[in-house]
Amino acid sequence: MNKPHGGKLIDKTVKKGKRPGIEKTDLVLQVDEDTAKDIRNIALGLYSPLEGFMNKDDYLSVIEKMQLANGVVWTIPIILDVPESKTKKIKIGSEVRLENSDMGLKAVLVVEDIYKHEPEKFSENVFGTTDRKHPGVALAYSREKTLLGGDIYLIEEGTNSFPEYNLPPAKTRKKFEEFGWKTIVGFQTRNPAHIAHEFIQKMALEFVDGLFVNPIIGKKKQGDFRDEIILDVYTQLVKNFYPKNSSFISIFPSRMHYAGPREAVFHAIIRKNFGCTHFLVGRDHAGVGDYYDKFAAHEIFEKIDDIGIEIMKVSAAFFCHRCKIFTTSKICPHNEIYRVSPSGTEVREAIIEKDYNKLKNVMRDEVLDIIFSHEKPFVE
């Protein structure tokens, strides 16, 4: 398996007796679910080598150079914003208790830096636009203007979404060892599988020992598929349509950033930390609307230093009536009129209209049965 990004799998969980009294600080900040997931992801090593929320030097370096201040490649700022009213008592060196009461999560931040968020600069560099219709830009401008940086310590992990699928890197790495896998390809998804996705995943299995299906589970934009549908679909596929002992599902609990090429790099780093040696990057990876060139997520890997995971770049897959097989635009010589590959928008419209004819060459009947069993398959 791969070494974690930066060479070490971070563990910021507080063992009993290690830091007595750390949770007794009077400074308390309630955080939302997305921030709670970031805290957990830092503490359990998904975001290795990060040990906390970014300080100003790392924040600016990631925005401007796509690397941490120490030169390690990193593309998405991981930040903690705080209301102005809460900053009056917080100073460098303060210990702030971070809590999410609904999840039961408790952590402590040791404040190392207090600085200002720059939403315009952030958005222009990370998303390539300041258009507030872009969901990532909208979030950037909605954040508080003050950011806190510093190491975090996880005291109580609390409850997690889909716990049977929610394995941290230490456990996925152990699973891969138990399976005897030395080479593992990670697959990022926020959709139930098309047959074309199956084709890509199974072709990748020709070159590696195992497939790690790692859907992102968390906040998504309106119109995206609900988390439980994605998991139900892949559980069905792995059980009934994938080679035995070739595939494993665990989730990446996080929001979607919709940062296109930068998020493709971020996703690759996360899967490297899970233990993957390879990562599939498709056309318009983590894109939204028409903000990014369809192959920008491929091209960005030529612009950054080697991040220590093999990137398997794949073009769009579809069924070709002339080839009579599932194939890709790189190897199919035929005109688009022979290709069955509806856009995500077309698929959603067909699902709403229950148009089986439009979907029959795109999704398996078993997948459609799962989708149609849900009254509301999409995020509203």
Residue 58 three-state SS: helix
Distance CA 172, CA 224 (A): 27
Distance CA 203, CA 196 (A): 11
Question: Strands, E, within the chain: which ranges?
Answer: 27-30, 52-53, 80-82, 95-100, 105-110, 113-116, 146-156, 184-189, 210-217, 247-249, 252-253, 278-281, 310-313, 317-320, 325-328, 339-340
What is the distance of C-alpha 288 from the center of its chain? 14
Beta partners for residue 98, in sequence order: 29, 107
Distance CA 32, CA 37 (A): 9
Burial class from Cβ neighbours inside 10 Å (0-12, 13-18, 19+) for residue 263 reads buried
Burial class from Cβ neighbours inside 10 Å (0-12, 13-18, 19+) for residue 120 reads exposed
List, by residue number, the catalytic residues: 190-191
Q: How many CB atoms lie within 10 A of CB 125?
A: 18
Token pair for residue 162?
A: 């889909």
